[in-house]
Amino acid sequence: MAIGPVEYMILGFPGNRFRGEIAPELAKLVNSGTIRILDLVFILKDADGSVTTFEFDQLDELAAFGDVDGEVGGLISNEDIEHAAALLEPNYSEALLVWEDVWATPFVDALRRADGVLLEGARIPRELIETAFSDLASAEG
Residue 79 lies in a domain: yes
Residue 140 lies in a domain: no
Q: Average pLDDT in the 60-74 region? A: 62
What is the C-alpha separation between 133 and 130, in angstroms, rounded? 5
Residue 117 lies in a domain: no
Which tens digit of pLDDT belongs to each residue from 6-50? 999 998 888 867 667 788 888 888 889 899 888 888 898 988 989
Which tens digit of pLDDT belongs to each residue from 91-100? 998 989 899 9
What is the C-alpha separation between 98 and 49, in angstroms, rounded? 25
Residue 48 lies in a domain: yes
Residue 50 lies in a domain: yes
* Residue range(s) defining the domain that contains residue 67: 6-105
pTM, 2 dp: 0.79
The CA-CA-CA angle for residues 87, 93, 95, to 5°, reads 85
Residue 95 lies in a domain: yes
**Share of residues in the chain with pLDDT > 70 (%):** 83
Q: How confident is the model at residue 85 (pLDDT cuts 50, 70, 90)?
A: very high
Using alpha carbons, list the distances in angstroms from residue 86 to 42, 43, 49, 133. Answer: 14, 11, 10, 35
What residues have CB less than 8 Å from 125, skipping those under 6 apart? none
Number of independent structural domains in the chain? 1
Residue 141 lies in a domain: no
Residue 94 lies in a domain: yes
